[in-house]
Amino acid sequence: MVRSSLLTCLLFLLAAALAPASRLVLPTLTRSHLSCLDNPPDLTAVGNEAGEIVHDLGGLQAYVMGSRSSTHAIVLASDYYADQVADEGYLVVVPDLLHGDPYNDEAKIPFEEWIKTHSPVEATEKTKALIAALKEQGMSAVGVGGYCWGAKVAVELSKSSEIEVVVILHPSLVTVDDMKGFMACSEVQHPIEILGAELDGASPPPLLHQFEQALDQNKRIDNFVKIFPGVGHGFASRYDANDPFAVETAEEARKDMVTWFNKYLKKHQELSLHES
């Protein structure tokens, strides 16, 4: 697991903007809703980073690791598992979408005020510029993984032509309309895997099943929805490292994510080699 203060900014906030700031729809912030702030990483640990900080990648600061010779990249709205994903041969990019200002238990302003300047919809547009920069550097295919707050960014990107595949884990404020859209340009357009939790109050199983039903109506894209039993929101990122069940579940989610990326990005690589 990468230990970097830059990456703290990408740690799974329990909210997302569904529209511009004036039309935000926010959850009620009780402690039961803040599980993605639990078990924070040890930011005093240094020296284990395998990558480097790039100060301007499409206008964003980002942590980059993995094969620089790869033509396939994965953008993670999270720092978790960046090293394991890079081990699969990808260039992995973790952009600082919160510009060094994450929301946490010590925040000095109410969450409702903080989110007005940290919209995942706006972050999506900034990430598109980063992806464009990656493609200028030779990347032919890009996948996106998003946890909690980052899941909204990933879903918004899945409605565009910039990427090839998406994985979201314990999403926050992703909606059924995101999945089906009101027209072709506002629905998910790429293979999407959704990894949820049985005890997740932000995206409970009935909502995840609605996602699945909406996606099943779109015959053009592949989808996979999995609900992990006995765990709650944040299970794939903010888990107790001393709890064997929690660790095992998070590892299973990581493997599922990597398998989904491999299925579509490596397929894209094979097609590119065949065409060349």
- pLDDT of 21 reads 33
**pLDDT mean over 233-254:** 92
**Residues 156, 160, 166, CA angle at the centre, nearest 5°?**
60
State whether residue 214 is helix, strand or coil: helix
Distances in whole angstroms, Cα of residue 74 to Cα of each of 26, 121, 130? 29, 19, 12
What's residue 32's pLDDT? 40
Q: Which DSSP string corresponds to 227-276? A: EEEEEETTTTTS--TT-HHHHHHHHHHHHHHHHHHIIIIIHHHHHHHHH-
DSSP 8-state class, residue 94: E
Q: What is the pLDDT of residue 180?
A: 82
pLDDT in tens, 94-108: 999 988 877 676 767
Q: Which tokens is 63 given?
A: 């942590």
Q: How confident is the model at residue 15 (pLDDT cuts 50, 70, 90)?
A: very low
Separation between Cα atoms, residue 29 and residue 35, nearest integer Å:
11
Q: What is the pLDDT of residue 36?
A: 57
Residue 51, pLDDT above cutoff 70:
yes
**CB of 160 closer than 8 Å to CB of 186:** no
Report pLDDT for 271: 52
Q: pTM score, two decimals?
A: 0.82
**Exposure of 16 by Cβ count < 10 A (0-12 exposed, 13-18 middle, 19+ buried)?**
buried
Q: Which two tokens stand for residue 76?
A: 């993670």
Contacts of 39 (CB under 8 A, 6+ apart): 234, 238, 239, 240, 241
Mean pLDDT of 236-264: 93
Q: Pick 135 or 266 by higher pLDDT.
A: 135
% residues pLDDT > 70 (the chain): 73
In the prediction, which pLDDT does 45 show?
Answer: 44
Mean pLDDT of the chain: 80
Percent of the chain with pLDDT over 90: 55
pLDDT of residue 66: 92
Measuring CA to CA, which residue among 24, 20, 259 is closest to residue 145? 259
Q: How far is it, in rounded angstroms, from Cα 44 to Cα 167?
A: 30
User: How do residues 87-142 score in pLDDT, each as one tens digit?
Assistant: 889 999 999 998 887 767 676 777 778 778 888 989 999 999 999 999 999 999 99
Q: Between helices 149-157 and 120-136, what is the axis angle to 10°?
A: 60
Residue 59 phi, psi dihedral angles, 5° rounding: 95, 0
Q: Single out the residue of 180, 182, 130, 133 nearest to residue 158, CA to CA.
A: 180
